[in-house]
Chain A
Amino acid sequence: MTPSPHCIDLATATVRELNQRLHHLTADGDPGIWRVLNPAGGHAIAVGLNAPVTVEIDGHVGYYCAGMNKSASVRINGNAGVGVAENMMSGLVHVRGDASQAAGATAHGGLLVIDGNASARCGISMKGIDIVVKGSIGHMSAFMGQAGTLTVLGDAGEALGDSLYEARLFVRGSVASLGADCVEKEMRDEHRAVLHARLEAAGLAGEVDVSEFRRYGSARGLYHFHVDNVY
């Protein structure tokens, strides 16, 4: 690949230099497309972005890639370590491979698409993000999820949606078990519309039948602290 003016090779540049240059970009003008080479599992790559820039990362990344992203589109052509897109506010993060634990943790907005599988605690404490996982997810996913959607084309591990608030969960495959206060809910037209929109945003329109999914949400039994609700 021929390096472009917007190409940073982490074999020679530091993560600090990369992030500093990306932070200098503003919404004014055209932030352009940036390509990152040789991430080599480095941590905190492309974090705190605050402009509608497109960042393409060729390789595997470590912890917290695209953390606290706002407005940017980040594509990872590889696997992602712990906490990819953690606390994202807006924008898009696309993992072409698998993601480790806590993908999309506490994120307030934006779209996280994972082509492969996601490990444990996917969407933990999610606060408005939309997450689409084309593979399966690990245990304790959407733990204490407050808002947003988690869509899983594969299976979900143990204790899905434990202590859930108002996040909405759609799973096409099997669910190993539901966590405390998480229940299966009726899939009505309005939910099918929401699911369809999320699949469409992830580029899956027409490829997946929404009728194959089941919906899970909070029983709201833990919303009021009472002896009958203590686990």
Chain B
Amino acid sequence: MDHTNIPRTVPRKSATFDDYTLSEIRRAAATGLYDIRGAGTKRKLPHLDDLLFLGASISRYPLEGYREKCGTNVVLGGRFAKKPIEIRIPITIAGMSFGSLSAQAKEALGRGASAVGTSTTTGDGGMTAEERGHSSTLVYQYLPSRYGMNPDDLRKADAIEVVIGQGAKPGGGGMLLGQKISPRVAAMRTLPQGIDQRSACRHPDWTGPDDLEIKIQELREITDWEKPIYVKVGAARPYYDTALAVKAGADVVVLDGMQGGTAATQEVFIEHVGIPLLAAIRPAVQALQDLGMHRKVQLIVSGGIRNGADVAKCLALGADAVSIGTAALVALGDNDPALAADYAALGTVPGAYDDWQDGRDPAGITTQDPALATRLDPEKAGRRLANYLSVLALEAQTIARACGKSHVHNLEPEDLVSLTIEAAAMARVPLAGTDWIPGAGRY
């Protein structure tokens, strides 16, 4: 055999030890610390893309394009609150803190949401005058850290959200690294300026669902039973968490899938704890149905919502509304290709920037640096967000009309099929072209 002319195989990289994995091993070996970053999971997961709507056919009668009425309004909090809130579109803005976001970004979120008649949500760190002033409907988060928590802001809020967890890190607390603890952020949180701040992972004065019921009673008493009270959980055990939230007296359950974003969390947490939104919605809806509370206690779901089809699919699976965070930041200007040179200077590229914890965001959104923050024009960014929210609602209406629904809430699981066996099992809709729902009849 001529050994000089043996064809060589091309260099082959490991699927297990891929380039990212190798780089992470080298980073860990150099630092001795786990990686911390912002945003949500980046791995490929079973998601809403794996579902399709069937639309109308001989047995289903569609509504006319953009002309026939298709309602999108949602009333939240009618179970116990004297003053339920009504939003015009079934898409809300998720909780994001002043501290993780600039004041300009918070103002822009308020402007955009208010323009289309929906709500924004505070975050860990309290309520700022900017977001209260620019948000027609503001949900005030009640978090384990209680940073900035006070009864005056509680009374100013339109609703209260008791945060148990979030999809990016069920069971995890929060971090705000020192470079983002500006004098104003430090004062609002009663902390020394410049330290790496830790947000507690569990509430300080209650443990378990029986205590939560009493805590909710206290919040209702303080606010004279006026405000809707939400309970937010990260998607982990959605059937039981939803049932326990209802038992504890929630008006609204907020369920955040693992695709939900974070300002700063360990990479290993973001990628390996919690379950995808697709797998979480049906168990939560099932819990509401088993308790006779579906549509009485509203369900808001979040985690990877990007377009009106995602909105419509969540509603068809039984949610009352969705919430967006990452997509809202992109609408404001996050990861804009126009800032490619700035991202290159940070060692990244548009679309991959996730060092939201560092406070050096060239878009002026995830920063407390005054020079960077002023790059974001709250009016223009707010308009972009309003446009985007309008498109989400219009797209959801388009699909609902195609399915013959006069309100987006009339969408139902029977309007959906799945492209994969995994998604069929998780969403409990048939695999396309079959009547097979894997696991049907069992939970």
Query: A residues near B, CB below 8 A?
Result: 15-16, 19-20, 23, 43-44, 47-48, 50, 62-64, 67-68, 70, 82-83, 86-87, 89, 101-102, 105-106, 108, 121, 124-125, 127-128, 143-144, 146-147, 163, 165-166, 222-227, 230
Contact = CB atoms under 8 A, between A and B. Distances in A.
B222 A68 contact: yes
Contacts of A64: 205, 214-215, 218
Interface of B: 31-33, 145-146, 149-152, 154, 175, 177-178, 189-192, 195-196, 198, 200, 204-206, 211, 214-215, 217-218, 221-225
A146 B222 contact: no
A105 B203 CA distance: 10
Contacts of A105: 204-205
User: Which of B33, B154, B205, B218 has the largest count of A CB atoms less than 10 A from its CB?
Assistant: B205
Contact of A15 (B149, B190, B221, B224): B221
A54 B31 CA distance: 57
Given A68-B151, A89-B151, A44 B214 contact: yes
A2 B42 CA distance: 69
Given A108-B190, A146-B191, 18 more contacts: A63-B211, A68-B151, A83-B206, A89-B151, A105-B204, A105-B205, A106-B146, A106-B205, A124-B204, A125-B200, A143-B204, A163-B198, A166-B192, A223-B192, A223-B195, A224-B196, A225-B175, A225-B177
A143 B206 CA distance: 14
Contacts of B151: 48, 50, 68, 70, 87, 89
Contacts of B32: 227
Contact of A144 (B178, B198, B205, B214): B198
Contacts of A19: 221-222, 224
Nearest to B33: A227
A20 B224 contact: yes
A121 to B, nearest CB: 7
Contact of B205 (A43, A48, A102, A230): A102
Contacts of A70: 151-152
Contacts of A62: 214
A125 B145 CA distance: 7
A226 B221 CA distance: 43
Contact of B146 (A87, A223, A227): A87
Contacts of A143: 204
21 contacts: A19-B221, A44-B214, A44-B217, A44-B221, A44-B222, A48-B151, A48-B223, A64-B214, A68-B154, A70-B151, A82-B211, A83-B205, A102-B205, A106-B149, A108-B190, A121-B205, A125-B204, A128-B190, A144-B204, A166-B192, A223-B192
User: Which of A68, A143, A224 has the largest count of B CB atoms less than 10 A from its CB?
Assistant: A68
A47 B222 contact: yes
A64 B217 CA distance: 10
A67 B218 contact: yes
Contacts of A16: 221, 225
A51 B32 CA distance: 53
Contacts of A230: 33
B82 to A, nearest CB: 12
Contacts of A108: 150, 190
B192 A225 contact: no
Contact of A86 (B177, B195, B205): B205
A35 to B, nearest CB: 19
A106 B221 CA distance: 19
B248 to A, nearest CB: 13
Closest CB pairs A-B (n = 5): A48-B222, A83-B205, A102-B205, A106-B146, A223-B195
